[in-house]
Structure formats: C-alpha cells, structure tokens
Amino acid sequence: MKIVIINYGAGNIQSIKFAIKRLGYDAILTDDVAEIKSADKVIFPGVGEASSAMSKLRESGLDTLVPNLKQPVLGICLGMQLMCNSSEEGKTKGLGIFDVNVVKFTKDVKVPQIGWNEISSLKSTLFSSIPEKSHIYMVHSFYAPVCEETIAVSGYGVNYSAALQKDNFYGTQFHPEKSSKIGEQILENFLSI
C-alpha cells in the first residue's frame, strides 16, 4: 500500500510517520503531484496558521489537487480545517470540501484547547471498534461547528465537529498520531478503507 503524507511545510510530520511505521507501513512525505495522485491513501497533516498554510498550498498548486483526489484522504487538525469552506483564522478561504466554516472558540474558554477530550456520536468506518466517549488528544483554538458532515462530536464550551467525512474525504480535529491506542486504531481504520 502506498501511503503519502502531503508535504507543504506544515508541522508534525514526523509523529505521523512514526505512527504509520508502528502500524507496519511506510509513508512517503512529498509535494510531488504524480506521487500524491498515485497513492492508495493520502494524509493531509497540519499544525500552524491557516492563512500561511493556504498560501503554501496555492504556491505549489496543491490547493487544486487535494479537492480532486479520488482515493481516501485524511486531514488532521489544521489539515481538516483547511478542507472546510473558510476559517476565521487569518480570514482564510479553504478548499471547500466540507461545507462548514471554521470559527474561533469564544473567550468563555481557555484557548488553545490542549489535552485529552472525549469523542461521541461516532459514525463512519473511521470509528470501527472505537467505543463512544473514547479519549483523544486535541490542540486547537478554532473549530468546525457540528454540521451534516460531522462523524464525531467533542465539547469545549460548545459541541463541535471532532471529525468530518464527505465521500472519500475524512478529517479529524484531534491528532490520532498522538492519541495512544485509540488513535492507532483510527489510523488503522483509515488505512483499511
């Protein structure tokens, strides 16, 4: 199986590579269009700021490639947020895969949200054999509200989308690569789709 991690200068690549390795696979880190198109599975990571991440995607032409991929694609954290219509962070236009706009947590909660949180209302094969109210690891100041494409919910002052899915596109607000056994199972589920 050919697994590609899209390289567009976003952080957190190594921990994803190690998590894939622990599952017995190798992942290629690349921004090469042909390599990405020929992958069986694509991981679209992200740690950082939305507007600068989007300009890096535009510079490399990946902003037009990603929404047209036909194989399973997993956006993680900022990767998932960039797959939405827009983000309040830097007033950024996103890739428009998920029909929802990313907004900032209110001042009623401490931001960023950092640490372990529960996920519930689990739908999709991404969560096969994952129990309701499992704990996953979050680090974020912005979130996608609950919408039609929500496949997992978490709460922090407000209920929000912990994961999204539309067709072959999946997104997790949390970091499966940092979420222990539950996260490993979610990655394994993604690789078996």
Q: Which residues are catalytic?
A: 77, 175, 177
Check: CB of residue 45 under 8 Å from CB of residue 80: no
Compute the distance between CA of residue 25 and CA of residue 134 in angstroms, rounded to an integer. Answer: 25
Amino acid (one-letter) located at 181: K
Residues near 110 by Cβ (< 8 Å), separated by ≥ 6?
none
Amino acid (one-letter) located at 46: G
Compute the distance between CA of residue 165 and CA of residue 55 in angstroms, rounded to an integer. Answer: 24
Alpha helices, H only, 8-167: 13-22, 33-37, 50-60, 62-65, 78-82
